[in-house]
A = this chain, B = another copy of it.
């Protein structure tokens, strides 16, 4: 999978709610093969305060239409500017970057996404489904309106929802969802979301001896392993999230397999 710098063209920019947009970008040349969990680095044009590129997970790849979909949450100037892109605008993008999730086969798997952490889960669910897995997708958020595009996952698995205010699905933190107590025999857990949530899920996985992969979000300068800015402490010392990750086996991350102190525990 050779990395490339390309100009992609905005096909559609769909506002999902006040803070989230779905961006569909088209490539003129055939898209290279990509893996769920990999990401792209976008150069935000037209803002004097966005010097560095911004990393985003690949939400979905449509090889027929030659498009990549990104799910973008507006948090600062860069994402604001991206949310204002219009069809026809071109985007300077580097992709595919990082290591993706490992795709298991013929197992029952659980995907847990919190907030904008759902971004890579669509692509992941699709691939897992294709490889004969029984896919369970648990999506959490503060409120019903934070649960994005949950219908689209139904084609690939069972969808579970939890919201802190109970406005959609079960009420409570995503990590308190009944699926964790009702189901037991997941062959693998995939998780992407806020740090506290991922640690809690990783801890659950460890206790139940289930392999667990998490996708991290560190601040990045280069995205290609050149600057060493995006490190996380692994059992083997500092490693770059942009090249060794963003997806890691939770057991390889230092401090992740002990009871986390964030009070987001599952048991």
Q: What residues of chain B lie closer than 8 Å to A29, measured between beta carbons?
A: none
Q: Mark A42-68, 1 if CB is under 8 A from B, else 0.
A: 000111111100000000000000000
Task: Give A48's nearest chain B residue, CB to CB.
Answer: B48
Select A51's contact among B46, B47, B48, B51, beta carbons within 8 Å: B48
Task: Give A49's nearest chain B residue, CB to CB.
Answer: B48
Nearest Cβ on chain B to A48's Cβ, whole angstroms:
4
Known pairs A47-B48, A48-B51. 4 more at Cβ < 8 A?
Answer: A45-B46, A46-B46, A46-B47, A48-B50
Copies per complex?
2
Task: Give A44's nearest chain B residue, CB to CB.
Answer: B48
Q: How many residues of A contact B (CB 8 A)?
A: 7
- In the docked arrangement, what's the CA distance between A46 and B50, Å? 10
Nearest Cβ on chain B to A37's Cβ, whole angstroms:
31
Nearest Cβ on chain B to A122's Cβ, whole angstroms:
31
Q: Mark A118-139, 1 if CB is under 8 A from B, else 0.
A: 0000000000000000000000
**Main SS of chain A's interface residues?**
loop
- In the docked arrangement, what's the CA distance between A47 and B48, Å? 6
Nearest Cβ on chain B to A101's Cβ, whole angstroms:
35
Could you list 8 A-B pairs, sorted by A, with CB under 8 Å? A45-B46, A46-B46, A46-B47, A47-B48, A48-B48, A48-B49, A48-B50, A48-B51
Q: Mark A8-51, 1 if CB is under 8 A from B, else 0.
A: 00000000000000000000000000000000000001111111
Nearest Cβ on chain B to A96's Cβ, whole angstroms:
26
Task: Give A46's nearest chain B residue, CB to CB.
Answer: B46
- In the docked arrangement, what's the CA distance between A50 and B48, Å? 8
Nearest Cβ on chain B to A24's Cβ, whole angstroms:
23
Q: What residues of chain B lie closer than 8 Å to A45, measured between beta carbons?
A: 46
Q: What residues of chain B lie closer than 8 Å to A50, measured between beta carbons?
A: 48
Q: What residues of chain B lie closer than 8 Å to A46, measured between beta carbons?
A: 45-47
Q: What residues of chain B lie closer than 8 Å to A48, measured between beta carbons?
A: 47-51
- In the docked arrangement, what's the CA distance between A45 and B46, Å? 7
Nearest Cβ on chain B to A89's Cβ, whole angstroms:
12
Nearest Cβ on chain B to A54's Cβ, whole angstroms:
14
- In the docked arrangement, what's the CA distance between A45 and B77, Å? 13
Nearest Cβ on chain B to A45's Cβ, whole angstroms:
8
